[in-house]
């Protein structure tokens, strides 16, 4: 079994979800007392969040690249950034190590195309919805026509992530407001939903909707296990 290197802490809440999902998948596939070989470097999210706000993406990339180097030295055979937004600096992280980085967008795109979805709605942080590193990769590399909410809905989605979900707060009222965002986008042609922040799966579940949903944290975790158990 190959060792999975996790860059976590963004937030610690979703990193705990990654750890659980990866280990559950390994147990399911191998049985018995099997669990995953994992090396985890968890950052202080307060530092990263300040860099996001101030637009210091190069500095953030250096910070996560340093984490990747530590994981490589610890024996990791691959790297996962346990966050969607911080894939903004994925190239800096991948370039800092010799082991592969499994990109969350590419993993999600495979599932989106497998289910035949053409116009998925992206629910994510404002950075992820409004900058091109995520939407552009889905569009240019994978031919997926991603939809994003309108400006006021984007602000709402972002606020709930940062004021609630990353703080491990889940409110039924916020779930209802997300559902309203989805319905508006559906009326404009969206045919699927990307949970494009790794905490959104705490609030929403695929069974909440009658169209395909893509929980990026779960998809990313599965891709890591696929790699770890490959020949």
Q: What is the pLDDT of residue 54?
A: 98
Could you tell me if 98 and 131 lie in one domain? no
Tell me what the mean pLDDT of segment 214-224 comes to. 98
Total domain count, the chain: 2
Could you tell me if 118 and 169 lie in one domain? yes
pLDDT band at 36 (very low <50, low <70, confident <90, very high): very high
Could you tell me if 87 and 109 lie in one domain? no
Task: Let me know if 217 is exposed, middle or buried by CB neighbors in 10 A (0-12, 13-18, 19+).
Answer: buried
Backbone dihedral angles phi then psi of residue 102, each to the nearest 5 degrees: -90, 110
Integer Cα distance of 52 and 63 in angstroms? 12
Could you tell me if 85 and 120 lie in one domain? no
Could you tell me if 132 and 87 lie in one domain? no
Q: What is the pLDDT of residue 189?
A: 96
Q: Give the CATH number for residue 184.
A: 3.40.50.1860
Q: What is the pLDDT of residue 31?
A: 97
Could you tell me if 124 and 170 lie in one domain? yes
Could you tell me if 84 and 72 lie in one domain? yes
From 141, 174, 164, 166, select the one nearest 217 (Cα to Cα). Answer: 166
Give kind and range of the element (H or E) at residue 6: strand 4-8
Distances (CA, A) of 130 to 3, 93, 106, 224: 34, 22, 19, 27
Could you tell me if 76 and 142 lie in one domain? no
pLDDT band at 130 (very low <50, low <70, confident <90, very high): very high
What letter does residue 100 receive in the DSSP assignment? P
Token pair for residue 214? 């893509």
Q: What is the pLDDT of residue 147?
A: 97
Q: What is the pLDDT of residue 85?
A: 98
Distances (CA, A) of 5 to 100, 151, 160: 10, 36, 29
Classify 194 as helix, strand or coil.
strand
Q: What is the pLDDT of residue 133?
A: 98
Could you tell me if 64 and 39 lie in one domain? yes
Q: What tens digit of pLDDT does each residue of 91-105 get?
A: 999 999 999 999 999
Give bridge partners of residue 121 from the DSSP assignment. 147, 193
The string of DSSP codes covering 55-67 is T-HHHHHHHHHHH
Q: What is the pLDDT of residue 124?
A: 98
Quick one: CA dihedral 170, 121, 212, 138, positive or negative?
Answer: negative
pLDDT band at 211 (very low <50, low <70, confident <90, very high): very high
Could you tell me if 109 and 210 lie in one domain? yes
Could you tell me if 69 and 128 lie in one domain? no
Domain encompassing residue 205 = 105-216
Q: Work out the percent of the chain whose per-residue pLDDT is above 70.
A: 100
Q: What is the pLDDT of residue 229?
A: 98
Neighbours of 25 (CB within 10 A): 19
Q: What is the pLDDT of residue 202?
A: 97
pLDDT band at 207 (very low <50, low <70, confident <90, very high): very high
* Whether the Cβ atoms of residue 220 and residue 14 lie closer than 8 Å to each other: no
Tell me what the mean pLDDT of segment 129-151 comes to. 97
Q: What tens digit of pLDDT does each residue of 61-80 get?
A: 999 999 999 999 999 999 99
Could you tell me if 128 and 201 lie in one domain? yes
pLDDT band at 89 (very low <50, low <70, confident <90, very high): very high
Q: What is the pLDDT of residue 192?
A: 98
**37 half-sphere exposure, CB direction, 13 A CA radius:** 12
Neighbours of 118 (CB within 10 A): 14
């Amino acid at each position: 079994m190959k060792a999975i290197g996790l860059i976590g802490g963004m937030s610690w809440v979703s990193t705990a979800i990654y750890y659980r999902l990866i280990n559950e998948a390994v147990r399911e596939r191998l049985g018995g007392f099997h669990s995953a070989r994992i090396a985890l470097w968890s950052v202080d999210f307060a530092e990263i969040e300040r860099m996001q706000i101030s637009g210091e993406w190069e500095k953030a990339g250096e910070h996560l690249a340093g984490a990747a180097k530590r994981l490589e030295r610890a024996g990791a055979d691959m790297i996962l950034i346990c966050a969607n937004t911080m894939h903004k600096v994925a190239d800096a992280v991948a370039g800092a190590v010799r082991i592969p980085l499994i990109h969350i967008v590419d993993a999600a795109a495979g599932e989106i195309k497998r289910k035949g979805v053409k116009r998925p709605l992206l629910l994510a942080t404002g950075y992820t919805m409004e900058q091109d590193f995520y939407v552009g990769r889905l569009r240019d590399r994978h031919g997926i026509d991603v939809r994003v909410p309108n400006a006021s809905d984007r602000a709402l989605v972002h606020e709930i992530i940062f004021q609630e979900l990353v703080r491990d707060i889940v409110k039924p009222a916020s779930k209802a407001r997300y559902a309203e965002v989805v319905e508006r986008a559906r009326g404009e042609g969206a045919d699927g939903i990307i949970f494009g922040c790794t905490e959104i799966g705490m609030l929403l579940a695929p069974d909440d909707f009658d169209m395909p949903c893509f929980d990026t944290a779960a998809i990313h975790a599965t891709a890591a296990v696929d790699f770890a158990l490959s020949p």
